[in-house]
């Protein structure tokens, strides 16, 4: 196990719904590499499909324009979200 820290931390347990999307093969390869590194870092096997929702949630949490545009609107994920923006 490596001691490197990844932007995406250990995964929380959550209720899920299934979505399907299409992406370039190069992105799929990058996602698979990220999943491998995540598994090595945190000692638990994980695949890219499991990581994608957490990556999207983290991305949206850091998107100032999105947060500004949705300010004052409650979303179902706000009550259950475990993703917090990482300060740089």
- Please compute Rg for the chain using Cα positions: 14
Q: What is the pTM of this model?
A: 0.62
Q: What is the pLDDT of residue 8?
A: 85
**What is residue 52's DSSP assignment?**
H
Domain range annotation of the chain: 25-71
Q: Please enumerate in sequence order all residues whose Cβ is within 8 A of that of 63, keeping only pairs 6 or more positions apart, or say none.
A: none
Enumerate residues 6+ apart whose C-beta is below 8 A from 38: 6, 8, 46, 51
Q: What is the pLDDT along the chain (88 residues), one digit of tens a residue?
A: 566 788 888 888 878 788 899 999 999 999 999 999 999 999 999 999 999 999 999 999 999 999 899 887 766 555 445 554 444 4
| CB distance 35 to 47 below 8 Å | yes
Dist CA 36 CA 65 (whole Å): 31
């Amino acid at each position: 196990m490596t001691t490197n820290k990844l932007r995406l931390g250990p995964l929380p347990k959550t209720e899920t719904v299934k979505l399907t999307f299409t992406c370039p093969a190069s992105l799929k390869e990058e996602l698979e590499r990220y999943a491998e590194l995540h598994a090595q870092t945190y000692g638990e096997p994980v695949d890219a499909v499991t990581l994608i929702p957490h990556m999207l949630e983290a991305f949206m949490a850091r998107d100032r324009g999105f947060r500004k545009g949705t300010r004052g609107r409650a979303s179902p994920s706000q009550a259950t979200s475990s993703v917090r923006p990482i300060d740089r």
